Amino acid sequence: MGARAFVLLLAGVSAIVHVVSYIMIMADLDRRGQKTNILLARLLFGRYLKAYKEATVKETGRTGPLYGVCITAILLALAFVVAAIAFTP
């Protein structure tokens, strides 16, 4: 496995972690009584993420752990894809 394939594998894993954490955020918002729509999830990404952050800050005084995981995973996926492009001969 070459360096480019390995970096793309890391990008894929990061993207999967992002999607799973985002689904968990939406499930948490549903448990808190805020309705979410899975069909419009990509369009309302910022709204749901902001609502999760505000709800967890209101309850605990800190942002919830899924907030950081979701943001970090998507930024890592972006960085890995850029790195994979850099490894292209």
pLDDT tens per residue, range 27-61 = 999 999 989 988 888 898 989 999 999 999 999 99
Return the percentage of the chain with pLDDT > 90, whole number: 74
| Containing structural domain, residue 74 | 3-86
Half-sphere exposure of 88 (CA within 13 A, CB side): 8
Average pLDDT, the chain: 92
Q: How confident is the model at residue 1 (pLDDT cuts 50, 70, 90)?
A: confident
How many domains does the chain fold into? 1
The DSSP secondary structure of the chain, one letter per residue, reads --HHHHHHHHHHHHHHHHHHHHHHHHHHHHHTT----GGGTTTTHHHHHHHHHHHHHHHHSS--HHHHHHHHHHHHHHHHHHHHHHT--
pLDDT of residue 66: 94
Whole-prediction pTM = 0.87
pLDDT of residue 63: 93
